[in-house]
Structure 1
Amino acid sequence: MSQIANEPASLSPVAVSRPVSLGNFGAMLLLALVWGLSISVTKLGLITMPPLTLTAIRFAVAIPFMMLLLIGKEPLPWKALPAVASLGVLGIGVGQVAQTFGVAGTSASIGTILSATIPLFIVLFAMIRLKQAVSISQIVGVVAAFAGIVVVASENAGDAGVAGTTALGPIWMLVSALAVAFYYVWSVELTNRYGTVVVATWSTVFGFVALVPWAGWEAHHTSFELTGQALGAAAYLGLAVTAAGLFLWLRILRDVPASIAASVQYLQPVFGIAASAIMFGDKIGPQFLAGVALILAGLAMALRVRSPKQGDAS
């Protein structure tokens, strides 16, 4: 993976006018699939393992593979340590931990709807912090895609869904959505300066270090069973979702504006609910298909880019 420290394309408003390549679109679809399975896989792991312990094992699995990718890379400057460490604590200590508690405290359908707010927050933070331009059609597309998520998820949001949701579960999911969205937008600035691999790896290490004492306390005070299913879930979350997924997402953000990249992630809950149907027996019927159609229509609008006119200042 090459380091493109001097090409901060995604920090520029001009990026919104550049077409999305077939390769980048394929990468976004793959990432939506990988991340879409994460909630269902997390629920499998939480059957026998408490939240902090599962999260800690997940990152313990991911970090050794991420460290291998540092070979041959420029070391992280000392002046960057506070920012990268804070990024890791935010993304893992707040974002991922809150998500695990949220998944444990919500039904699959309600958790899906709330996790789908991440792209909305990414677009908002990108507009504010990265000064990225967002067109009206993209905003309408994002809203339409989110409406499709509500349609898809509500098919399984009956009495069982409400019964599976605690008072704090939705709050944890929203806290996670805010933290994760800001983590990804903030990552763009740091990766432009120090490289994707370096920032992603060290932020994960710092986040894991902050998590370990809490996970140790939980493991000491909570009885749990270390099953093959739980370890398999932690391995998938660590290798596919964390290591491979994080690098893929950060690389996408280097070439694709956050408003467009985030909109494709609305397919993530579609894959997730399909996985829940296989794993937990959730329903997939006409309402699911109607919601998917609405999501795809929203994506089609969100992916439209404005051709720059001659003489445009931007």
Structure 2
Amino acid sequence: MIMVLIGAILWGVSGTAAQVLFQNNGFQPAWLVTVRMGLSGLILVLFSMIGAGTQKTFVIWKRPKDVLYLVVFAVIGLIGVQYSFFVTIALSNAATATILQYLGPVAITLYLALRLRRMPNRWESLAVVLAFVGTCLLITDGRWNAISISPGAVSWGLISALALAFYTMFPQKLIKQYGSAIIVGWAMLIGSVLLSFVTHPWRLQGTWSYWALELVTFVVLFGTLVAFYLYLESLRYITPSETSLLGCAEPLSSAFVAMMFLHVRLGLIAWIGAFCILATVVILSRKSAGR
């Protein structure tokens, strides 16, 4: 429980660190995503080679079908979720981006209902309603004649939620066969290489200082590598549903840090909307645990 809480808090704080880099130092989301994925992926692959062995780490490259799935996961899952998340931060703030991304579990619920050709049960229906109401409250902050968040931020935030749903569901078979660190490590490297054709990571962007270097280092090491490792390790001791519940610390930590250091303010109505969205995660997690 301590590991997943620390991991969730690190994810939340890294979003606020990215907001500073975007809005104060002129960094671009694509560049930061490329560097973040490349360095974290390289470290994960190296750790896998040390822990699991070189042969197990590279065996996936001998199976063309699995390589294809890996590339799809890298492009739609990892690039999709990280780029859309960072663009949402750049267009709004870290708290709003993280909360909108938490609509992902609702997208998973609706997809499974369509695929299984069944209507959502009462708990799933309640979660969907809460998610819809919460999103409306968050983006309007009670001012129904005007949207308090830019349409671009809302659109990219919803894309981030859909990408998160894909990221969660698509690689399950690969992860069971090869392990999380190997799959995510290679997918991060693939995503970083592909993004390098669009934004060149060796061309430094923005205004650099010791503070900016510290923020980039934090986003790469603590906000990606350490947070991901702690999340994986927590699954050895607690269930995925419990991890999802404790993961609610991520948007809350992001919101509190943004308020304390960046003077981001969410109105009362927006806060009610945020907690409605978090409540959907609690409902869906408890349902999946059969409680």
TM-score (norm 1): 0.69
Computed over aligned residues only, the root mean square deviation of the Cα atoms, in angstroms, reads: 4.2
The corresponding residue for 2:250 is: 268
Task: Say yes or no: does 1:89 pair with 2:75.
Answer: yes
Change in Cα spacing, 1:306 to 1:227, as seen in structure 2 (3 Å) is closer
Q: CA deviation at 1:268?
A: 2.3
Mark the runs of 5 or more structure 1 residues left unpaired by the alignment. 1-22, 309-314
Aligned-pair identity in percent equals 22
Write the distance in 1 (CA, Å) between the matches of 2:3 and 2:275.
Answer: 21
Read off the aligned partner of 2:83 and give its amino acid letter: V
- Aligned counterpart for 2:227 among listed residues 218, 230, 245: 245
Structure 2 residue runs without a partner (length 5+): none
Q: Residue 92 of structure 2 aligns to a residue in which SS? A: coil
- The counterpart of 1:186, out of the listed 170, 185, 189, is 170
User: Which residue pairs with 2:215 in the alignment?
Assistant: 233
Distance 1:211 1:60, change over 3 A: same
Is the counterpart of residue 36 in structure 1 residue 22 in structure 2?
no
SS at match of 1:225: coil
Contact kept? 1:90, 1:207, Cα under 8 Å: no
Once the 2 structures are TM-superposed, how far is the Cα of residue 245 of structure 1 from its aligned partner?
A: 2.8
Separation (CA, whole Å) in 2 of partners of 1:142 and 1:249: 26
The one-letter code matched in structure 2 to 1:242 is: T
Tell me what 2:206 maps to: 224
Q: Is the counterpart of residue 256 in structure 1 residue 242 in structure 2? A: no
Q: CA deviation at 1:203?
A: 1.0
Distance across 2 between alignment mates of 1:237 and 1:27: 18
Q: Letter of the aligned partner of 1:237 in structure 2?
A: V
- Tell me the alpha carbon deviations over residues 152-173 of structure 1, each in whole angstroms, 9 at most, x when there is no partner: 7876999xx94x73x4332222
Q: Which moved more, 1:41-50 or 1:101-110?
A: 101-110
User: For each residue in 1:46-73, what CA deviation from the matched residue of structure 2 results, as whole angstroms up to 9, or x when unmatched?
Assistant: 1321222222222233234212311242
Q: Residue 146 of structure 1 contacts residue 266 of structure 1 at CA under 8 Å; is this kept in 2?
A: no
Provide the rounded CA distance (Å) in 2 between the counterparts of 1:63 and 1:227.
25
Give 1:18-57 correspondences, 5 Å limit.
Answer: 23=1, 26-46=2-22, 47-48=24-25, 49-57=27-35
User: Secondary structure of 1:39's partner?
Assistant: helix
Q: Secondary structure of 2:171's partner?
A: helix
In structure 2, distance between residues paired with 1:289 and 1:190: 38
- 2:90 corresponds in structure 1 to 104
| 2:157 counterpart of 1:173 | yes
List aligned pairs for 1:57-68, cutoff 5 A: 57-68=35-46
Offset of residue 27 of structure 1: 4.2
**Cα distance change on mapping 1:185 and 1:109 into 2, 3 Å:** same
Corresponding residue SS for 1:216: coil
Between 278-287 and 268-277, report the one with greater CA deviation.
Answer: 278-287
Structure 1 counterpart of 2:239, which letter?
Answer: V
2:193 to 196, 205, 209: 209
